[in-house]
């Protein structure tokens, strides 16, 4: 279970009475968490692809060395 999914459950269900569970709401929350996760992954992929294309002076402007940029751009999209 991802952190996003755990947070959704924590916010929605820990304070709710244990006797009632709206399964449709649980399904919607899980789907929303999955959609959010895919959005985060897409953003990381795009950002790292753009980072690969920056040249040395642009990296220096944002305070990164070439080594730092290569390390970050080399990470898979699922790793923060």
Averaged pLDDT in 10-residue chunks for the chain of 80 residues:
50 48 74 91 95 95 95 94
Return the residue matching tokens 């999209």.
77
pLDDT value, residue 18: 47
pLDDT value, residue 23: 65
For 4-17, give one letter per residue: b (16+ CB within 10 A) or e.
bbeebeeeeeeeee
Alpha-carbon distance 47 to 41, whole Å?
A: 10
pLDDT value, residue 47: 95
Q: Give the predicted TM-score (pTM) of the model.
A: 0.64
Angle at 46 between CA 42 and CA 48, to 5 degrees: 115
pLDDT value, residue 29: 86
Q: What are phi and psi of 76, to 5 degrees?
A: -70, 155
């Amino acid at each position: 279970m991802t952190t996003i999914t755990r947070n959704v459950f924590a916010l929605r269900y820990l304070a709710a009475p244990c006797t009632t569970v709206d399964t449709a709401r649980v399904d919607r929350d899980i789907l929303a968490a999955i959609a959010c996760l895919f959005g985060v992954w897409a953003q990381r992929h795009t950002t790292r692809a753009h980072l690969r294309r920056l040249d040395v002076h642009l990296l220096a402007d944002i305070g990164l060395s070439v080594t730092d940029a290569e390390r970050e751009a080399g990470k898979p999209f699922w790793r923060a």
